[in-house]
Amino acid sequence: MPKTQAGIVFDYVRYVFSTILAALSGFVIIYSIANKLAALPGHPILHYILLALDLLLLAYLEGLQVAILALENVRSSTFADMPRACVSHKLCTARKGLNVQRFLVGRQFFVVFVVFLCAQLTTYRDLEIDWMPATMFTVLIETGLPGALIVLAFGQLMPQLICATHPITFMNLPGTWSVIQLCLCFETAGLTHFSWVLSWLMKTIFRMGVKEHVKRKIKDVEMTHQDKNKDGKKYNDEGKVEESEFDMEVNIGDADLMYSGAEDGLSLALDKDVHSPAVMRWLKNDSIRSLANAYGNNEGSGGTPKLPEPPTIVRQLVNNGLDVPRYLLPPYHEAHIPPHIVAYELIRRNNARRNRNCGIKA
């Protein structure tokens, strides 16, 4: 629902008010540190440096939390064109995802440490403002409100909001690998390992199990595909695949089912499923196994792959003036369509055509 004119004006008033308040808080902090009013003893220049480093480290910690959780289930090859992001992602998701939990444990310590240090640099009990009443001075100055606003704006909310929309770009910033490694090393030291013991104890007391599996009922899920000919008219022949017909639009009614489906794929299969006739026939099929080996990067005696790689195919298509399907683009390209999506659609069409043929014969 679009906002009314009054709502838009109210938003701008809040933006202006918050900006002025943050600017005044910054002025109070700069003035107070310059006059050696900070609770932490030391030279003002040292305090300025500590405050800047604290805010920078806090921004990395807060932003990386959002970015890592957003990209936890994403393949690193998706953004292979961003080397720093790729390396940092591999580090934080290593050990089958355990490093994500280890990062969160180490990160939480440094967040608390940084916030306490910032409080020592932004609390000024000896500051005197003659025109301000004592109660207002206590609420606005002695409680450290200016420091809280600056820490929230620059060190926490700003990086979190950026990572909510650009997690890969943030993870590609210089220093992300070092910050992740810092948190992992601190967790390895074992100072916070009581948190693991406490969490295990709570899970045991309340019988939570090792991990909770969230699974939704499969209903109201619609996967549709509309094919069009060159004139823009729709046709219903699902078995027909025309040349250059690679713009497959698969609409999934509930995206959460894709994640629950992935969880089901990682769970163990039942014995009756493993020993079913269909699976046993599949295991005995040598051609399937041979095809899987040929499609990999296994090299023959001549040192060349047995099947052409995607770049070779794309180069051949371009040289001959032919269209390049989207699934042959690099994985990190924004227009890339995963090949398994294409394969699934072709299998679905083939099954639909076979079912129709069986119906006709019957």
pLDDT per residue, tens digit, the chain (362 aa), is 677 889 899 999 999 999 999 999 999 999 999 998 888 889 999 999 999 999 999 999 999 999 999 888 888 887 888 899 999 999 998 888 889 989 999 999 999 999 999 988 988 877 877 777 878 777 777 778 888 899 999 999 999 999 999 999 999 999 999 999 999 999 999 888 888 899 889 988 988 877 776 554 444 434 444 444 444 444 444 444 333 333 444 444 444 444 343 344 334 444 454 344 543 443 445 434 444 454 454 444 455 556 777 767 766 766 676 766 777 776 755 566 777 776 766 776 677 777 777 755 44
Helix (H), strand (E) at residue 228: strand 227-228
Compute the distance between CA of residue 349 and CA of residue 251 in angstroms, rounded to an integer.
Answer: 16
Compute the distance between CA of residue 298 and CA of residue 280 in angstroms, rounded to an integer.
Answer: 26
Residue span of the structural domain in which 297 resides: 268-305
Three-class DSSP category at 307: coil
- Of 148, 166, 195, which one is at a domain's C-terminal end? 195
pLDDT value, residue 215: 54
Same domain, yes or no, for 176 and 277? no
pLDDT value, residue 181: 95
Compute the distance between CA of residue 176 and CA of residue 53 in angstroms, rounded to an integer.
Answer: 14
Compute the distance between CA of residue 299 and CA of residue 105 in angstroms, rounded to an integer.
Answer: 43
Q: In terms of Cα–Cα distance, which of 250, 212, 257 is closest to 344? A: 250
Two tokens at 244?
């250059």
DSSP code of residue 224: E
Same domain, yes or no, for 31 and 126? yes
In a domain, 286, yes or no: yes
- Write down the pTM of the prediction: 0.58
Helix (H), strand (E) at residue 39: none
In a domain, 335, yes or no: no
pLDDT value, residue 314: 66
Q: Are 244 and 230 in contact (CB under 8 A)?
A: no
Same domain, yes or no, for 191 and 291? no
Same domain, yes or no, for 33 and 115? yes
- Of 256, 280, 305, which one is at a domain's C-terminal end? 305
pLDDT value, residue 122: 87
- Of 161, 195, 229, which one is at a domain's C-terminal end? 195
In a domain, 59, yes or no: yes
Q: In Å, what is the CA distance from 298 to each residue of 251, 269, 295, 311?
A: 36, 29, 8, 17
